[in-house]
């Protein structure tokens, strides 16, 4: 996909030309100057009903959403620009000086400026000098501006601030996180361009100096006993791409991308019996939060909302062929806007490819010798974002049996704390001598605007319970399924329960499947911990979505994000808890299913210097949606390039059917 192509569909991301046009229209109409920035420029997407009317012939405007920030005054505004009429249709100054406050996401230029402000501050220089940091060291000190959280202090209320922590480095390529400068935290006002608060603790903790670098030069003696593992598709991939639209194995969908969420899947549907059947209208990850469990000065306030406070899409990586994705790859280049509103291309931001995924279905019938096996293949649509020290991969998988999966991959570098030699770090795990890793949690929230068979949908909650002994259970082996229909929004907030196998089903009550029931999809959740911070704590107020695994809301175009619109320096109370408090009807309605999931991380030596990937995610599986296993008609082909390692032969293997490699079919 070339980011320079023209629009072909109302859900296509803004093109480079449209980004430039939208910024120019708003700048001219509102007299914006050199001090205005554009933290977000994106398509204002049409809703499901608007698209349906457009398909029936109604006109549909092409709208751009622009978030602006005056970096001299801190005034922020939201604007909608109609690109077809070249007019600003709405312009609203954000009340970010009023409770619960809130700020646009932190921009790249502010990361750079914050470091300059910190290093120029006399108080900070004196504080780090107490810890052995010389004037000669300061140019190489790494300063991490970090979203600040909110604790009701005057310098937080309505202010655009970051908190900054620092790390010693001897060389520019050193891993700064091995050398935290403990007990020093600078609060930077990004509008006043100065340090407005400085923590300089009396206790001096020595800066750990042991190097724990991760560049390839740090590991010159690489393994020599690993052979190439090549993924080969000599006839090309099984998917087809037309602009932003993809078709694969009866699936079809449109790829989207926003500065906050990154990858978005639109109009996900599957062809069944010649009919295209909708499943999800829009799917994305709208937020993630990482609260820390260390109450000390450097860490208690850390609770990064990586989507809302920074922007997962804005921080997307340029993916590398043969490294981030293997096989026959289709990359999507994404049109984007920088802080100044200038359009540019995010090269290779989205990767799409096919993967083998083991056995899909199999049976060996010894009575008649029928032996049938089919291998599973899945389509992978993914992107990676680096948010400071952590790297997050988001992988959507589509399967040939109709299953949908989201997997988040967590890697990168943990936050660290300096520990006085001879002492034990009480707030997490030791990862090296004098170096601790604070215990923390990662919570993601996926927003699934459901569209099962294109009608009103109903969500039901199910779990299993043993039946009491009795005439209807004389052997004690019977258990029942308990079902609860979620009728209003306040019925929906819930926590997963592995003991009872609790799950949720989204069905279309207006349709009937092959056995007389409503067709649906089942959400298979992992009963991961919820946010463990106390009720009433600042992070619990701000990240309330992570207190439950499941939320269901009636669709509202304005309710886009689990944490609310502007979690940055926000007092909290918005987002999902506020959405469901309206208690709107959700039975047989246009519903949005929100799922919070994540990982609790107690740091250990194996997590350093780079953490091996941890996984979190969920499945959506057809449940009464099809009349049978839709993957029965897969061809019974055996992989022709597989070989028996016990047989002699060259590295390329023998010819097909030779006995040295796979040949023939998977049926006997």
Which residue in 144, 306, 590, 607 is the catalytic one?
A: 306
Of 311, 272, 132, nearest to 208 (Cα)?
A: 132
- Tell me the residue length of the chain: 668
- Measured distance CA(566)–CA(569) in Å, rounded: 8
Which residue in 390, 392, 425, 566 is the catalytic one?
A: 390
| 57-64, long-range: CB < 8 A, 24+ apart | 60/10, 61/85, 61/89, 62/7, 62/10, 62/18, 63/89, 64/14, 64/18, 64/19, 64/21, 64/22
* Tokens 């899409």, located at residue: 313
- Measured distance CA(168)–CA(191) in Å, rounded: 27
Give the torsion through C-alpha atoms of 278, 279, 284, 290, to 10 deg: 170
Q: Fill in the DSSP letter of residue 469.
A: S
Query: Is 174 a residue of the active site?
Result: no
- Measured distance CA(657)–CA(638) in Å, rounded: 10
Ranges assigned E (strand) in 501-590: 503-507, 520-524, 550-554, 568-570
CB within 8 A of 392, min separation 6: which ones? 288, 306, 312, 384, 385, 386, 408, 409, 410, 411, 412
Of 78, 87, 168, nearest to 131 (Cα)?
A: 168
Are 53 and 65 within 8 A, CB to CB? no
- Measured distance CA(204)–CA(544) in Å, rounded: 36
Angle at 242 between CA 241 and CA 248, to 5 degrees: 35
CB within 8 A of 169, min separation 6: which ones? 140, 141, 142, 176, 179
Angle of the 108-120 helix axis to the 122-129 helix axis, nearest 10: 70
Query: Is 390 a residue of the active site?
Result: yes
- Measured distance CA(341)–CA(64) in Å, rounded: 12
Classify residue 650 by burial, with Cβ atoms within 10 Å: 0-12, 13-18, 19+: exposed
Strand order in the sheet with 87-93: 36-43, 63-70, 76-82, 87-93
* Tokens 């009728």, located at residue: 487
Are 306 and 295 within 8 A, CB to CB? no
Q: Which residues are catalytic?
A: 306, 390
């Amino acid at each position: 996909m070339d980011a320079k192509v023209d629009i072909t569909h109302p859900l296509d991301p803004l093109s480079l030309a449209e980004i430039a046009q939208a910024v120019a229209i708003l700048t001219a109409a509102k007299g914006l100057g050199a001090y205005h920035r554009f933290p977000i420029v994106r398509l204002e997407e049409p809703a499901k009903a608007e698209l349906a009317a457009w398909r029936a012939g109604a006109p549909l405007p092409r709208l751009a959403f622009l978030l602006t920030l005056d970096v001299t005054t801190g005034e922020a505004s939201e604007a909608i620009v109609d690109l077809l009429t070249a007019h600003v249709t709405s312009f609203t100054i954000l009340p970010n000086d009023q409770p619960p406050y809130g700020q646009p996401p932190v921009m790249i230029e502010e990361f750079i400026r914050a470091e300059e402000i910190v290093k120029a501050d006399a108080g900070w220089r004196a504080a780090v000098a107490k810890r052995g940091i010389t004037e000669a060291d300061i140019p190489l000190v790494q300063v991490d501006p970090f979203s600040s959280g909110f604790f009701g202090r005057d310098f937080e209320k309505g202010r655009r601030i970051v908190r900054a922590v620092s790390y010693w480095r001897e060389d520019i390529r050193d891993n700064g996180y091995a050398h935290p400068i403990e007990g020093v935290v600078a609060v930077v006002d990004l509008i006043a361009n100065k340090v407005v608060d400085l923590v300089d603790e009396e206790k001096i903790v020595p800066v750990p100096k042991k190097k724990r670098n991760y560049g390839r030069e740090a590991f010159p003696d690489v393994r020599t006993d690993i052979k190439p593992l090549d993924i080969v598709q000599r006839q090309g991939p099984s998917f087809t791409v037309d602009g932003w639209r993809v078709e694969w194995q009866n699936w079809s969908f449109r790829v989207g991308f926003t500065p906050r969420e990154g990858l978005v899947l639109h109009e996900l549907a599957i062809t069944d019996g010649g009919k295209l059947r909708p499943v999800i209208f829009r799917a994305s990850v709208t937020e993630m939060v990482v609260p820390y469990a260390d109450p000390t000065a450097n860490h208690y306030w850390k609770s990064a909302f990586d989507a809302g406070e920074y922007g997962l899409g804005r921080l997307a990586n340029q993916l590398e062929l043969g490294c981030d994705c293997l096989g026959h790859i289709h990359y999507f280049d994404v049109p984007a806007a920088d802080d100044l509103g200038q359009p540019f291309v995010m090269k290779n931001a989205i990767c799409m490819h096919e993967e083998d995924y083991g056995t899909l279905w199999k049976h060996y019938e010894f009575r008649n010798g029928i032996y049938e096996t089919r291998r599973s293949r899945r389509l992978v649509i993914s992107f990676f974002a680096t948010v400071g020290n952590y790297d997050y991969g988001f992988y959507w998988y589509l399967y040939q049996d109709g299953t949908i999966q989201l997997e988040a991959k967590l890697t990168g570098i943990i936050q660290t704390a300096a520990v006085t030699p001879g002492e034990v770090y009480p707030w997490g795990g030791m990862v090296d001598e004098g170096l601790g890793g604070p215990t923390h949690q990662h919570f993601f929230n996926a927003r699934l605007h459901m569209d099962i068979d294109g009608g009103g949908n109903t969500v039901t909650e199910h779990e299993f319970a043993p039946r009491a002994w009795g005439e209807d259970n004389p052997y004690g082996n019977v258990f029942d399924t308990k079902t609860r229909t979620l009728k209003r929004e306040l019925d929906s907030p819930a926590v997963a329960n592995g003991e009872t196998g609790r799950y949720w089903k989204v069905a279309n009550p207006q349709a009937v499947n092959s056995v007389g029931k409503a067709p649906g999809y089942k959400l298979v959740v992992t009963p991961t911990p919820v946010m463990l911070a106390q009720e009433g704590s600042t992070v619990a107020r701000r990240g309330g979505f992570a207190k439950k695994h499941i939320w269901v809301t009636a669709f509202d175009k304005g309710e886009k994000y689990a944490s609310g619109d502007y979690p940055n320096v926000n007092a909290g109370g918005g987002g999902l808890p506020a959405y469901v408090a309206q208690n709107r009807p959700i039975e047989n309605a246009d519903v949005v299913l929100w799922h919070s999931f994540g990982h609790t991380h107690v740091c250990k030596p194996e997590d350093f210097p780079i953490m091996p990937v941890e996984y979190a995610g969920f499945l959506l599986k057809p449940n009464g949606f099809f009349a049978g296993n839709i993957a029965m008609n897969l061809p019974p082909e055996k992989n022709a390039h597989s070989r028996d390692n016990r047989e002699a032969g060259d590295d390329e293997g023998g010819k097909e059917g030779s006995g040295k490699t796979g040949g023939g079919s998977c049926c006997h």
